[in-house]
Amino acid sequence: MKISFSTSWVDGDTVRLLSILPHVDYIEVGSKGDSGFFKQVEELAMSGELKVGSIHASAGPHKKQKETSYTPHLASDDPVLQKRDIEDIFLTAEWAMKLGASNIVLHIGKIADQKLRELFLLYKSLAVEQGGTGGLGDLRNDIVKRRAGHKNHLDRVVPVLERLCKRYPKINFCFETRLHYYEIPTPDEADCIFKRVLLPNLGYWHDIGHTWTLNRLGFVPMQEWQARFGDRCRGVHVHDSGEDLTDHYPPGFGSMDLRGILRQFENVTVYTLETNYRHTKEEVLAGISYLRNLFVPSGQKNQSMSG
């Protein structure tokens, strides 16, 4: 098993980044950080001190603000907002080419319906509060029906993905499985995208924490993604989640059956640990060790512990 590590934990701090490099195989450059931080990442990559496997757009020296920018308007019907996000992704792709990164992870938008968002977040809050989704079936059905009433958002996303894949054939552009039901795509929408963009460098990136949450809430069975699109999966975001659905814990610090969940990714050779910056270095290192030991045969595990 090889482990990539998202700089989301680094929080734009190069010292923090350097402290974790000896413990991982690759880096995923996350969106958090300003141009100064990304220039330092570039210097480290060009000197061979780190290897960048993936970039989570938008990231790169073009990005001025430190806070994350995950291209929230890619499906927007506002041409000005959408154009700005498209430009950021193209700049990210140019940077990826320079760094030799083969994958770009994308958020491809959300349904522009404030009421839908409010209903989903209410549903999630109630489910956490009462320890399950019992009695919430009517509300869930209302949310599903309201989302199904929205059309045409894929018509705005598909041409962008096609342009990117054609312009940069050596980069895999991977839309990420999302945490909220009002975000894009659902599995049915992903199927539509793959059928409309017939290019081999379009893939998807499976975030196990996100799909675990939507499974727990009763919206999308988490196994559905791999069952339908396993051959298009280019990478996995790994993190743990608590019973209250707070995610991005280091592996082993939450409630998820990581061993059982990760068995579905037989063709994935690199797992990307995406941990929130609130966790300590000691917790992160424990999470890396936990992840590495998940699939070590018991005999080898005992040998490594004794040696």
Q: Which pTM does this prediction carry?
A: 0.94
Q: What string of pLDDT tens digits covers the 307 residues of the chain?
A: 899 999 999 999 999 999 999 999 999 999 999 999 999 999 999 999 999 999 999 999 999 999 999 999 999 999 999 999 999 999 999 999 999 999 999 999 999 999 999 999 999 999 999 999 999 999 999 999 999 999 999 999 999 999 999 999 999 999 999 999 999 999 999 999 999 999 999 999 999 999 999 999 999 999 999 999 999 999 999 999 999 999 999 999 999 999 999 999 988 888 999 999 999 999 999 999 999 999 865 554 433 322 2
Q: Count CB atoms within 10 A of the CB of residue 181.
A: 25
- What is the rounded distance in angstroms from the CA atom of residue 3 to the CA atom of residue 11? 19
Q: Name the packing angle between helices 79-99 and 35-47 (round to 10°).
A: 30
Cβ atoms within 10 Å of 200's Cβ, excluding its own: 9
Q: Supply the DSSP string of 27-64, one letter for each residue.
A: EEE-S-S-HHHHHHHHHHHHHTS--EEEEESS-STT--
Closest by Cα among 241, 263, 265 to 252: 241
The rounded distance, in Å, linking the Cα atoms of 139 and 133 is: 10
Q: Which residues contact 9 (CB under 8 A, 6 or more apart)?
A: 16, 20, 274, 275, 276, 277, 279, 284
What's the rounded Cα separation, in Å, for the pair 283 and 286?
A: 5
Question: Is the preceding peptide bond at 58 cis, omega within 30 degrees of 0?
Answer: yes
| Cβ within 8 Å of residue 123, ≥6 positions away | 136, 139, 140, 143, 217
d(CA 234, CA 53) in angstroms, rounded, equals 11
pLDDT of residue 303: 37
